[in-house]
Structure 1
Amino acid sequence: MTDARIAVELQEPPSPIGRNSSELPAGVDDAIAVTVASGGDSHLVDVAWKNLTVTSRKMKRPLLNNVTGAITDGFYAIMGPSGSGKSTLLNTLACRLDRGVNVQGELKLNGQDYSNAELKKLSGYVMQDDLLNAHLTVEETLRYTAELRMPRTTTPEERQERVETVMNSVGLTHVRDVIVGSPIKKGISGGERKRLCVAMELLTKPKLLFLDEPTSGLDSVTALSLCRLLRRLAMSRLCTVVTTIHQPQAKIFNLFDQLLLLNRGAIVYQGPAQDALDFFDRSGFPCPLHENPADHFLDVITPNHNDSVESLVAKEESLAKHYQPPPVEHLLDNPRPLVLPRDATPWHMQFRVLLRRSVKEVWRKRSTTLVLLLQTIIIAVLIGTVFLQIGTDQKSVVRRQPVLFFCVINQGMFGALIVINSFPSERMLALRERAAGTYHVSAYFLAKVTAETVSQLPAPIIFACIVYWLVGLQAVAAKFFIFMGFMILCSTAATSLALAVSAIARTTDMSVTILPMALEICRLFGGFFLSPANLPKYFVWLDALSYVKYTYVGISLNELTGLELYCTPPQLNAQGKCPITSGEQTINALGLDYLNMGQCAGILVAYIFICRFIAYLGVRFLKH
């Protein structure tokens, strides 16, 4: 592309809106020019539809009723009152409809039928809600997105160059190192969040950019700034921009090239935005002087409770009489080739990138991990001092089992409560990233659970080091490390159970309600209060599902095997003998000999894998 052509394409058509120098950082227009120059093939694609009807099993009235139209290039606004079908049309074109929705009619991209997978490679989609990772900076968000979504043949240098170019083009360079933040964590502003969402989609050089209510929740100045940015992107022929918008201010309305006006699932008007005034004038509804055209259009097509049925029918008939659907046959019947970019990164690269991202998130949330470690140390010291050096006399027989059970309960609680919010808090973000084809679910799940598991390993290790020696359990190195291993398995099993609950539960409130009940059941059937032999038959299955039981039996066998006990003179029985002289006697008395340590460890490992597989299925298939 020549410099002259770039200059021509970047000239903004005459508009009643002049540029406000404060709306975006300096250099944004130059950055857009660079983006266009480096964008490769600038030929845009078109979408055409004819007799398109969209129905839902939940609603009797069609969401879209026999509509015809096309999108070629420019800046498109899809307007209409609430419930008119704006988002339905946008999501139909973008292949983002929910399950249970039926689509009938012709819908083609460059004259060809297209699939969701093909459209993902050619388009970007910005949701109404700014679903972003609160713990990453602006630059990190864009860099990870580039690594996951740009073609696998792209070099690291090219990715970073693309990130810099796009970040500059949307005016985010000045906040590149600022944390994105959340409602409870200060970060970038609302307008900057929306521009970041746009920037993430621009990284892949889309031919189509869909936006659902991008100005929702923004003040008038920020909304105008964002729409001016989108207009410049459209006029630079970087991509065709299609956005739904409810009731824009006059300055924003004047930025649109094309207008699609919908009401009750039908298109009332489609054509140049500035020609809509003439259309409504011809239909008998002229726009009063100094009134916002967008407000006037919506006032005309939105039913008023004071209007009679006859006036509403007459209004609809007048609008329908003067509206002529655009001719789309030449777009539908003339197939043009679709140049699809190469596939994005393979699975192993996705896992590596997502693991680095997850580790960074964990590090940014390290205060939570530090609190867990502090709790662990405090509880470990308390248990160790309460049962300080229990010894090996007859009294220790009574004290040893409670302290072992307390160890299991402790390691099965804190870690589980920390991860319970893992998936509910990120579910919508993960769904957005998956809908954009960012990664495979398995890569995301494995990276996340790996990072969280590693971050929680120090807690059971520190706990074992403190408790084991303060309590005075057998001073044998092998037994100490076996005890530590069971503490790690117990903590991991509990967090695995919590992950499964969090992945299946619809909300955080539901998960924090279910998990304590599940943990309490595991404690009740943990082998300390009742041995399996004394359980009612109809509760045996609950006993088998308790990770607490396998940990408790495992560390009990580890501690009691080879333990020699003695008696003080007052502890001798009537025959002058010591009642219990070995740990094996305690094992037999408590009925703990139905399992061995290897079986306990193996069952815990299987328990961990099964719970995490259930969690994966929840993340993969439950979208709520």
Structure 2
Amino acid sequence: DTKDVEDRASRSSGQGSSSSSAAQSIAQHPYRGLDNEAAERVHELARTLTSQSMLHSTTSNNADQNSSSSTHNTQHNNADSRSIFSTDMMGVNPVFTNPDTPGYNPKLDPNSDEFSSTAWVQNMANISSSDPEFYKPYTLGCVWKNLSASGDSADVSYQSTFVNIVPKLLTKAFRILKPRKDEDTFQILKPMDGCLNPGELLVVLGRPGSGCTTLLKSISSNSHGFKVAKDSTVSYDGLSSSDIKKHYRGEVVYNAESDIHLPHLTVYQTLFTVARLKTPQNRIKGVDRESYANHVTEVAMATYGLSHTRDTKVGNDLVRGVSGGERKRVSIAEVAICGSRFQCWDNATRGLDSATALEFIRALKTQADIGKSAATVAIYQCSQDSYDLFDKVCVLDDGYQLYFGSSKKAKKYFQDMGYVCPPRQTTADFLTSITSPTERIINKEYIAKGIKVPQTARE
């Protein structure tokens, strides 16, 4: 009884001391809610989520039990101190993701609400860099010099049918055999130079008909319907356009403005077919083709917001299916699954809302920063947030290249030339307005001083 009384007294005194210390701590650190400091701490904690490589654990199980146990504990402790965003991580096998598995990371699971495409891309880059002899990572850039393109000058072009195919062939043969004249051809692109390094994004701005589509087709080796001049040079890190067409067609991709799919296939079937065709032989070790293709398909649908349309037909103008914006996202997901190192997107944001268009540009930026891919995007309406993600900009007008260079210096370049950017106008709209005589604003001070401001694309 005496001992019980002493224990109760000691517990009460301990509770009293802990209560007083807690009161002092509260007085020193009052609760202010989820302020900026707390939000930053939560953000840092989320970034330090760690994962355990399932591939490494499988390999280590085949070694001696004692040595593997000590090695596993050491690497587990090292992994716990690093983030999945770290470039020195070995990488985690994201295909066989199971919430009940130790080391499971929801950021790498496309079926999880916490899935992060940035974390997934970084993880795949870590896997490739962990064994470069097996995965063989590479990059691809493009340089074009004195690039010009021309096409046949025709007032009317008819769609080929069974009735008019013979007259069209005869007319084409006649145009080839007869001597060429200047009025028979139309120069779409005037001579221009450009360079796009691996890891950079290029935005092409210009009004419809200025040559944006022709430029994208020319640098992606898709010159069907027009001719690139013989003295033009297009090089992909030493590879010519003919080399790309013959041996590396899948490494340089052009995504057209129109969305053409097999309308009766569902979204999952369409993307899964592309993933199966593009599954590499040197994929993640221990993963079969079907599992890899299925995982990449799930990742693409989760990245571009297509998971809810998994079993819906893609459709077209005659077959009822997904909406126009979702169909455009299917086209974007197809190119993303291909994993090409050099991509050309022709008006890829058509039919997308501003938020989805921004997420698309961010996905390209993530691939460029982490995977060192290069992408060229032609956009007719580009928001300021989207424009800030691009490294370079090209402004076209009537086939002339008005500017090619850093996206941060383009606005000042035209302002120094004598054009005025109205308040609250985005940089992309200002650059596009330069090509329109009715929209551009000339600086009156330049006119008063007699400084000539260019009025035409040729000037």
What TM-score do you get using the length of structure 1 for normalisation? 0.44
Name the amino acid aligned to 1:108.
S
Name the amino acid aligned to 2:148.
T
Which residue of structure 1 lines up, in the alignment, with residue 149 of structure 2?
54
For the pair 1:67 / 2:192, whether they are aligned, the reply is yes
Separation of aligned partners in 2, 1:78 and 1:7: 33
Instruction: Name whichever structure is richer in helix by fraction.
Output: 1
2:419 match: secondary structure: coil
1:181 match: secondary structure: coil
Which residue of structure 1 lines up, in the alignment, with residue 434 of structure 2?
300
Which residue of structure 2 lines up, in the alignment, with residue 82 of structure 1?
208
CA distances 1:311-346 after superposition (whole Å, capped 9, x unpaired): 9x954389999xxxxxxxxxxxxxxxxxxxxxxxxx
Which residue of structure 2 lines up, in the alignment, with residue 221 of structure 1?
355
Of residues 237, 249, 253, the one that matches 1:124 is 253
Which residue of structure 2 lines up, in the alignment, with residue 395 of structure 1?
none
Name the amino acid aligned to 2:235.
K
For the pair 1:192 / 2:330, whether they are aligned, the reply is no
Separation of aligned partners in 2, 1:25 and 1:171: 12
Of residues 371, 384, 388, the one that matches 1:250 is 384
Residues 267 and 313, structure 2, Cα contact 8 Å, conserved in 1: yes
Residues 205 and 395, structure 2, Cα contact 8 Å, conserved in 1: yes
Alignment length (residue pairs): 303
Residues 80 and 263, structure 1, Cα contact 8 Å, conserved in 2: yes
Separation of aligned partners in 1, 2:440 and 2:433: 13
For the pair 1:98 / 2:98, whether they are aligned, the reply is no
For the structure 1 residues 256 and 159, does the alpha-carbon distance in structure 2 shift closer, same or farther, using more than 3 Å as the test?
A: same
Residues 325 and 351, structure 2, Cα contact 8 Å, conserved in 1: no
For the structure 1 residues 100 and 291, does the alpha-carbon distance in structure 2 shift closer, same or farther, using more than 3 Å as the test?
A: closer
Which residue of structure 2 lines up, in the alignment, with residue 537 of structure 1?
none
Offset of residue 210 of structure 1: 1.2
Which residue of structure 2 lines up, in the alignment, with residue 281 of structure 1?
415
For the structure 1 residues 118 and 171, does the alpha-carbon distance in structure 2 shift closer, same or farther, using more than 3 Å as the test?
A: farther
Name the amino acid aligned to 2:144.
W
For the pair 1:140 / 2:269, whether they are aligned, the reply is yes
Residues 45 and 208, structure 1, Cα contact 8 Å, conserved in 2: yes
Identical-pair percentage? 24
For the pair 1:31 / 2:160, whether they are aligned, the reply is no
For the structure 1 residues 285 and 100, does the alpha-carbon distance in structure 2 shift closer, same or farther, using more than 3 Å as the test?
A: closer
Separation of aligned partners in 1, 2:440 and 2:239: 46
Which residue of structure 2 lines up, in the alignment, with residue 239 of structure 1?
373
Residues 46 and 110, structure 1, Cα contact 8 Å, conserved in 2: yes
Which residue of structure 2 lines up, in the alignment, with residue 108 of structure 1?
235
Offset of residue 54 of structure 1: 0.8
Separation of aligned partners in 1, 2:240 and 2:260: 30
CA distances 1:196-225 after superposition (whole Å, capped 9, x unpaired): 212212223211121110112333333333
Greater C-alpha radius of gyration: 1
Offset of residue 96 of structure 1: 1.4
Name the amino acid aligned to 1:144.
T
Structure with the greater relative contact order (CA < 8 A, sep ≥ 6): 1 or 2?
A: 2
CA distances 1:94-119 after superposition (whole Å, capped 9, x unpaired): 11122452433111110232322334
Separation of aligned partners in 1, 2:322 and 2:113: 15
- Consecutive unaligned residues of structure 1, counting only runs of 5 or more, are 10-23, 322-624
Separation of aligned partners in 1, 2:87 and 2:275: 29
Offset of residue 151 of structure 1: 4.5
Which residue of structure 1 lines up, in the alignment, with residue 314 of structure 2?
180
Q: CA RMSD in A?
A: 3.4
For the pair 1:160 / 2:294, whether they are aligned, the reply is yes
For the structure 1 residues 231 and 144, does the alpha-carbon distance in structure 2 shift closer, same or farther, using more than 3 Å as the test?
A: same
